[in-house]
Structure 1
Amino acid sequence: MTQIESPKVVKKKLFSPIWLLPIVALALGAWLGVKSIKESGIEIIVHFPNAVGIDIGKTLVKYQGLTVGKVTDISIDNELSGVNVKIIMDYRSEPFLNKNSKFWLVTPKASITGIEGLDTLFSGNYIAVQPGDGSSASEFVALKDAPTMLPDTNGVLITLTTSKLGSLDIGSMVFYRQIPVGKVVNYRLIDSGTINISTFIEQQYAHLVTQESQFWNVSGLKIDASMSGIKVNTESLASLLAGGISFNSVANSAAAQNGDNFVLYPDEQSAVKGIEFTLLADNADEINQGSTLVYRGIDVGKIHQTQLTENGVKFLAKFDSQYQHLLNADTQFWIAGADISLEGVKHAARLITGSVVNVLPGVSDNALPQEYQLQSQAPDLMQASQLTIKLTSDEHSGLNAGAEVRYKQMPIGEISQVKLSDDFSRVEYSVDIQPEYSSLLTVDSYFVSESALAIDASLDGVKVKTRDINTLLAGAVSLVPGKAKAVVKPQAKFSLYQSADQALTALNKSSMSTLALDSIDGAGLAHGSPVYYKKMRIGSVSEVNWNSQTDKFSITVAIQKRFTNLVRSNSVFWRNDAASINASLSGIDVDIAPLEGALKGSISLGLLPENQQGNQTRLYDSKELALKQAKAITLSLPADAKVAAKAAIRYQGHQVGVIQQVKLNQDLANLTVSAYLYGEYAQHFTKEDSEFFVVDAQISLVGIKAPETLITGPYIGVLPGTSERQATQFDGLLAARYDADIDEDALKVTLVDSQLGSIKIGTPIFFRGIAIGQVDGYSLSYNGNQVLMYSHIEKQYAHLVNQTSQFWDASGIKLEVGIFSGAQIETGSLETLLSGGISVVTEEVTDKTNQLALDERFTLHNKMKAEWRKWKPEQVKPL
């Protein structure tokens, strides 16, 4: 039976969530529509003279490097005078699109001051915008050039006014004491005679520009050619190439503000303030515009203008600012030209340059008059009493009467007379010093003759010094004041030197400390060779003398006074090589002397530790020998000895000296070797019985003896002596004694055989196959019947050998053949087979009864006996 379920009634909902989807879609669409309209951009039109460099869809609009728009269309304007460029600007730029906003095209421009718009070389031309104020606008007219923009947001923008632009351009630098502090950002012609130059000064330097600052043009070169020489002046390389402006800063003056105007002067002399005044004269025969005002030989101003008056001529003159203090109420002026007389021509340069106006400052504190009288002759005040002195010289310096006496190139007097001294030994010059300069002279003053042209060629370079034409015609003398305070009396005598170098040499010679050094040769030195301390010059060689009796040289050295404290008990001297190269297995050491010393030869002074005594009378051959206080010795060797200079002298592998020179004697049979032993070892090896011998490589089947000499070359070995007597001359050997290198504690034995056989120096002695000693040498016995082989047993094995020991030759192969016994072959180890060897065996334990005495002798058997194989004593090594 089927059961039917009754229907369930559900109440229908009035709102379904699915209805939210259209609402959300509608809201999202509305938001996107509003956002699209808002961000669609703002369309503006900018009028340009032409469309060169502007591309639709490519040319961007940028503000401080940020893209804010793009060109979308270009069309010709209705008047055919340009093009209208349609631009879509970013919607966020709307607040900046105002009436005074400016647009211009940025393209790369190269000039001598630099490259503008460099970024357009990679990104292409773009339109730059500068936001402005005013009401909102959508149409603009582009500028032909970029506006006057500040290179930085902080700084001062000022305007300079000038009549000529000269070499200035946009980008030209502004200098203060040759430091760039700003640049020219724009210039424009105001009227037919005025140019305004907009100049920007960086903020950090803005305080230097004050209301009273003066600006002047420093572009290019300024050449001042006169009889005194040619002066070439330029502010910097940048101003030479691109033009430049310089200015001064006036203390206690208010700082300049943006927009302030200044005059740009053509040069510094015109810019810097001075003091102007008027001179009156009857005529202008000798003075013209540009004539110089002179005080004590120094140009202190110029005549800037000449005017004709009813009674004569009026000159408008100006003192340079640094000399304006010379103008007082009673300052006097007079005309001075060349003075031609029988004694010669004074101020000959004025024959070409014209007369000058001499100035004599006054002392009055009254107000300055409006006009000054220009006199035709010097006032009597200039003829006041003068200080007369005498200069003496070994020879005439070419100076004539009328020659100027100068101090720091300012005239302070002149030579009035030249004559020979009463004994005709010297030349005397009478000199008149102006009274106001007499205080410059002290009792230790001296004078130096000047040359019109002086050329100093040395290792430091070539220096050329010139003086004016007066020096060329009459000569001149310079005063070098001393440090004394004693008053100079009239007719006092002073020395006149031909040059500053001669004066310094003479003065230094009296204050230098001298000492004599002994050397085996001249060491390549001469007069003037420098003496160094740590490569700083402290003196020089004054003379080099050869002693014929000792065949040695005496070198006199002069040390400057301020360095004499370096010559003390621990001082040493050595000669310098131009270049020293010390190559060894540990590396290469290169030492190069100063250039002057390399060419002239030189000496160095060094100091040993305070507790060591140096030798201040010897000139060592090298720094190493000096610092090690080496002692000279002489060796005599056979002529076939293979030794060379610079070879070492060694004791048990340690260097204790060096060979300095190897010379073949006239007899051709011997060598004389000059060598040095280092001071700390010399006392051990200069004893009369010390032994010297040649150490060279010896190659045999046993091995290589002294293998290091294959690289370094042969050297000299040495053994210390025991004698109380000292010596400096020794006879050397071609080889060391056989026991030279044997330890004193080794056990020495002598083996005796009728033949040497294959035994050689170095043949090992084996005990049960282990080497315990070796053969050190051999010789024939006195009667010639035996061979004596001198050997030793090393200390640690000495207890293995005693009077019961037996030695036999274990070299090579021993073959015995018998008819009934057959053949017996006996060989040792491979080493003894190749290089030979001696074996030893001991029968009894070593004790006091069978210990070996000094240099015991043993028979060297030719083979081992059979019973010896049974000997196996248990030896005890002594403690």
Structure 2
Amino acid sequence: MENDLEKVVVYQPKLDKKNRASFIWVLPLIVLGILVWIAYESYSKKGTNIVVYFKSAEGLKENVTPLEYKGLQLGKVTKITMHDDLKSVSVNILVNSDAEKYVANEGSKFWIKKPTVSLTKISGLSTLISGYKIELAPTFTTPEELSKVKPKWYFEGLDFQPDDEFDENGYYITLLSNDKDNVDIGTPIFYNKYQIGEIVAKEFKDEQLFVVSHIYDKYRYLVNKSSKFVMNEALKVNYGAGGLNIEVGSFYSALIGGITVITSQKQGDEISKDEVQILYAQKDDLKDKHYFNIDFYEATIDNHTPILFKGIEIGKITSIKLNKDILETKAFVYENYKYLLTKNSRFFVEEPTISFGGIKNLGNIIKGNFISLDYKEGEFSDKFMAVNKKELNKSLSTIKIDLIVDSLNSITERSKIYYKSIEVGRVDSYSLTNDYKNVKISILIDEKYKNLIHDKTLFYDMSSKLVQMKNLNLDINYSGMEGIFNGSIGILSTTNDKNKLTKKEFKLYSKYEDVVRLKRMENSGFTVFTEFDNSFKLAKDMAVIYKNQEIGFVKDIKFDDRLSKVELFIYEDYRKFIINSSRFYKKSAIDVKASLSGVDLSIDTFSSLIDGSIYLDNSSKTPLGNHEIYASEDDMNSTTNSVLIIFDDVEGIQENFSKLTYKGVNIGKVKKVSLNKNRQVEVEAIIYNDFSSFAKKGTMFYLKKPRISFQEISNVGATIMGVNIGVIKGEGDFKRVFTGFDKEPSIRHSHLGTVFKVEDLTASSVSVDSPVYYKNVQIGKVLKVDLSTDGSRVVIDCLIDNKYTKLIRKNSQFYDISGFEMEFSIFSGAKVESNTFTSIIKGGLVVVTPYEYNEIAQENDIFILNKTLREDWKTISPSIK
């Protein structure tokens, strides 16, 4: 055990010396240093607070809306409150410290930048996302000027961009506008309907609106000191002799408005920015005017009452004042009508006339009376005394004659004298004859119609009896409501140098038929023997008409149970119009035609108001044996001018209503629709004129059914009045029976143009009737969209108008411009491109022919449709001959 204790070894501990300072105490010092640096940086860059007073805070947001100068952010809105005056708002802006000296000084101006979105341009679109911006407009331009300006922290905000922000070298013109509603920032300025500038600023001073227009640099040569600025008139309303007249400008002007520049002299000095030009409200304001005076004893007129001459407005009343019993007015006429102001000219007021014949001068009832002018040559004068219209009529040169009649009936001093429904005179007075048995009516015939009055002139009462029944014959005397209730006298006369006026008294006959019979007896002529089948009624004395002129009458009728014989007496002057192919038909007294435009009611002559008239037709070239009178024009045409068209189905076709149309012109109508033994529909149609040119092999007939969709409305009348039949002319031999098509057939060539085929792998937005453009001018349309025979491609038939086919060359390219393209970026805004409004709705194609164009394309050439329009297409402009 002792040995074990001897072996134990004890070591002495080793002591190391350590530093008294530890790294753990250094870390808080570093953190403290960083905090001090941050505090210093925050204090040094805190910036300066300014206050700007705006009329409205619309679009501004706290801690969002920036203060910018040329795209560089200089600060931010921190607070928006009501101003002490309760009429504006206080906007606090924290300006960056490094920009303080540029912003917080008395030379700074502030305005709110808003987005501009219109049909002509889109600018500032990024503000729609980030909100409005406050823009800085400093007045200093050099560091020396900056060092001289004094500090400032409170500012009055501007309503619009200040003038000094505009380009120094830009062409800016100040306009004075009286119309404060139609001028706004972005309003376009046009020259010959092409935009050359826009309105960039406006300011209201001294109750007047001043606007600043910017003319684009490349068009500044078009505007000089001779230029006039006029507001576009999208809607123009006039009141004149014709009543209310509304004129609507282009759809583009109606939406945008705009200003038009009219430059009279191409060479002239530019307009300085300090010069103020007048912005005229309408083109009439540019016309030179001559002012003169008109005095009235009494008149219902006011300022702006128009002065009309022969229905044309030649001037206006500008001011009115009452001087004792005289109404003194100042007026003007346009300079080119100054010659009308002569000592012999007389002014009078036209007032509305309401009678059974209708309402005359309806515009007067709506707007007021107008002033008319009776012009006569003479020395110039600018002072006039107006006259009463009744006195004017009585003072005209007239011929006075007397009419003798058994009874006055409805004749009054207001009754008028008519020749062929034209007023040629008036009743002056009436009295009993010396023997008290008759009435003597004195009438006045205007000097210019004196040749109508001679010894063989016949006068008849147009109002004595409206309806008379005698011997079962109904006699209707109709001359219009005014003639019936106010009384009127008709004249039957011819102008002949051999006839002289020696009589002073004439007999006034009671009805038109009496004078017609007397007049007919004076004519020499010959007899034409005709016949009719008794299916309709003919009567003696019925008029024979050719091209709306009476050429004879029915002299006699010899009845027979099979065919009745009719003798027509034709006046000698019209012998040459009766030929071996002449045909006759009875025309109804009242002809009613209905369409989408309304109902057209035409009434034949007085002599045939009940029984109708016999019309002569010489349109046929086929010689006839005996002359025949047909029951109607359709029956007459059915014998020679009818074709038979066979369809599988004719839903919507209506007899006597459905029309045959060629190039939009009505050339015939459907007479009969029936089924044949093969259960096909046979349509018998009449062609009115030029029958032989349509009844040819190759002529195509197709149904024009209505198409109503979001893209288009076509042939909408067919939904109401019946489906029409379209016609495409052929060039073959004579043919009368045709096979009809259910829709317009696709053809290579027609009277409208040439069809070119454009192929694509898939269908686009292009549809039937979509436009085809060349340089934004429509040169054709899409006729058909269909699959190829093997179904691998889509084939588009493009019908190009004849006058544009030379533009289509073998290397021409077709592009799809349907819809619109839009590029969008948060930083750069958005860009929207569209060729036309039509291309957005209906789709469309554009053709581009390169400068190195090949030979003219043929009908069998096939083109490939390109989906993306090349960027340089507008600059490609070859001269194609």
- TM-score (norm. length: structure 2): 0.36
Higher Rg: 1
- TM-score (norm. length: structure 1): 0.36
